[in-house]
Structure 1
Amino acid sequence: MNLQQLEYFKKIAETKNFTTAAALASVSQPALSKSISKLEEELNVPLFERNGRNVNLTSFGQAFLAHADLALKEIEKGIKELEDMLQTDKGIISVASTYCIGTYFMPFIISDFLSFYPDARFQFNHGSTVEILNDLKAGKIALGFYDNAVDNFDSLLQNPEIESVLVKKEEYVLIVPKNHALSTETTASLKDLKNEAFIVLKEGNTDKMVSYSEFIGYTPKISVQPNEASMLSGLVAAGAGITIVPNTPLINTNTVSIVKIKEDLGYKSIYMGCLKNAYISPAAIKFKEHIISSIKN
């Protein structure tokens, strides 16, 4: 049995036709038929049965296809790994983050990395924390970025298959319009905000910031519930209300004022995750090391 036989077998299973499979494999039909006959002799079972001009897999063929497909995929992964080894600084780095992190955090760290390794390429997706962890386990991405602003995060963080590294902590701050009474204050207490109208992300949003009733101690008046975190600052600037957000470089202090909160709301913590003991490209390893190095500095 050899790799070529497995490739021929898969093409026939996909096309259900020896002539079409031979054309796709760039081989003569007699040579293809002979190769499959030898494979069937070695396995001592029939893999295909005639159905007019086409062929169908036998029950033996169906059982064998799953293993042949897995073997071919493993070979492809091996070839890709060797290619990556020859192009240490030019590999593709597949990453995913939550929508909020992808808006204000990822652009900066990717841009910084590319200033050192301009030939690196990124495949970048958004998703929820749960989706990112599932994609890591499935090997769809090399690195995932997520935060603790999600229910049951502590249990998610204990996943034995995923290594999660804390890469950034952001304090929560209050942002208010420039003409607000608190705009000239450096700090404010949550208990003094009972009469304020709050802008709060819509229920069920994966980028939720903070549980207002839990920390404020009362149910606030809500004026607007946008679907995206990127809309919060703009709504505050327009005078629609005030809100509590992580203190990030993207807050435009020309249009809103940042006020520190006297109470301890904890932090929004951003984590970088990868699948333990899994192969990732040298370029992805460099990116991971670059981020860890920036934390220490």
Structure 2
Amino acid sequence: MNLQQLEYLKKIAETENFTTAATLLSVTQPALSKAISKLEAELNVPLFERTGRNVKLTSFGEAFLKHSNLALLEIEKGIRELQDMVDPDKGIISIASTYCIGTYFMPFIISDFLSCCPHTKFQFSHESVPEILNDLRDGKIDLGFYDNLDDIHTHSEIESIPVKEEEYVLIVPKNHHLSKEVEVSLKDLKNESFIVFHEGDKDKMLSCSEFINRAPKISIQPNEASMLGGLVAAGAGITIVPNTPLINTSALSIIKIKENIGRKVIYIGWLKNSYMSPIVKKFRDYVISSAPANSLSLKI
């Protein structure tokens, strides 16, 4: 058994087709088939079964693939660790965040970090909070950014540190009757129409749920964070969002809310007691050091 056979197994399982897998792996189909046959002979079990022109994993194949993928992941980590030892100021940082954090928080923090470490490469994806926590646990990403800790207690192996706190504000179009107000009370908004994200997509939800329960008059439920400001500016309704630099103040008015409706807290998370490359440590420490001093007291 060798590393190449494990890579072949993974690619065939992904494509469910020997011809497609051979093309992606830049090998001939006979060579690929021969390598898998040798692996099956060594394991003494069939790994694939044919379904028409395609193939799928047998129960033996599914069981072995889990361990095979872990082995490949460990080899990849080992290669990265050696590369980090050669040049600790270079490397790849794999991160994931919820959609809204990735829209208005990550671009600034990554851009600022690249100004001092320009040779760093980032692999970045948007995921739900459960997906981020699972990927941290499985070692698929180095760092995660999220604002919902409902699931964190089921992941005691993950360290979470608050790095940013934002107040919720009301945004209205410039021609709205409240646009000149500095502060409003919730009771003054009971007859307004609101734009909120779909309730089934809570990880993308920017509006304050506690407030929405008091103001059920909802005009639009978009499924993209980037649509909120445009819809409000167009007069389709008003909404409550974290006060971020991305709010277009030329088209929108930002108004404080008199009542305490909580704040949005952004956390950075990583897997405890696992290897972390020098460049990942440098980025993690940079993000934490950029956080307000009082946020660090909220460590989970």
TM-score, structure 2 as length reference: 0.75
Give the letter aligned to residue 57 of structure 1: E
Aligned-partner Cα distance in 1 for 2:246–2:5: 55
Counterpart in the other structure of 1:140: 140
Counterpart in the other structure of 1:107: 107
Counterpart in the other structure of 2:205: 208
Give the letter aligned to residue 237 of structure 1: A
Note if contact 1:147-1:271 (Cα within 8 Å) is conserved in structure 2.
Answer: yes
How many residue pairs are counted as aligned between the two chains?
256
Give the letter aligned to residue 94 of structure 1: S
C-alpha distance after superposition, 1:142-191 (max 9, x if no partner): 0010112xxxx334256211101101011100001101111111000011
Q: 1:8 to 1:245 in 2, by over 3 A?
A: closer
Note if contact 1:6-1:68 (Cα within 8 Å) is conserved in structure 2.
Answer: no
C-alpha distance after superposition, 1:94-116 (max 9, x if no partner): 01111111110000000000000
Q: Of the two, which has the highest radius of gyration? A: 1
Q: 1:76 to 1:245 in 2, by over 3 A?
A: closer
Note if contact 2:136-2:143 (Cα within 8 Å) is conserved in structure 1.
Answer: yes
1:242 aligns with 2:238: yes
Counterparts in 2 of 1:69-148, with a 5 A limit?
74-148=74-148
Q: 1:198 to 1:68 in 2, by over 3 A?
A: closer
Counterpart in the other structure of 2:158: 162
Please point out which of 160, 164, 169 is paired with 1:173: 169
SS state of the match for residue 130, structure 1? Answer: helix
Q: 1:98 to 1:158 in 2, by over 3 A?
A: same
Give the letter aligned to residue 261 of structure 2: L
Q: 1:246 to 1:81 in 2, by over 3 A?
A: same
1:189 aligns with 2:185: yes
Aligned sequence identity (%): 60
Give the letter aligned to residue 193 of structure 2: A
Counterparts in 2 of 1:221-236, with a 5 A limit?
221-236=217-232
In structure 1, the gaps of 5 or more residues are 26-49
1:262 aligns with 2:258: yes
Q: Select between 222-231 and 246-255 the one with higher mean Cα deviation.
A: 222-231
Q: 1:141 to 1:10 in 2, by over 3 A?
A: closer
Give the letter aligned to residue 205 of structure 2: K
Give the letter aligned to residue 288 of structure 1: R
C-alpha distance after superposition, 1:104-130 (max 9, x if no partner): 000000000000000111011111111
Note if contact 2:173-2:179 (Cα within 8 Å) is conserved in structure 1.
Answer: yes
Cα offset, 1:293, TM superposition: 1.2
SS state of the match for residue 223, structure 1? Answer: strand
Cα offset, 1:88, TM superposition: 1.1
SS state of the match for residue 272, structure 1? Answer: strand
Give the letter aligned to residue 118 of structure 1: P
Aligned-partner Cα distance in 1 for 2:206–2:125: 21
Q: 1:277 to 1:186 in 2, by over 3 A?
A: same
Counterpart in the other structure of 1:28: none
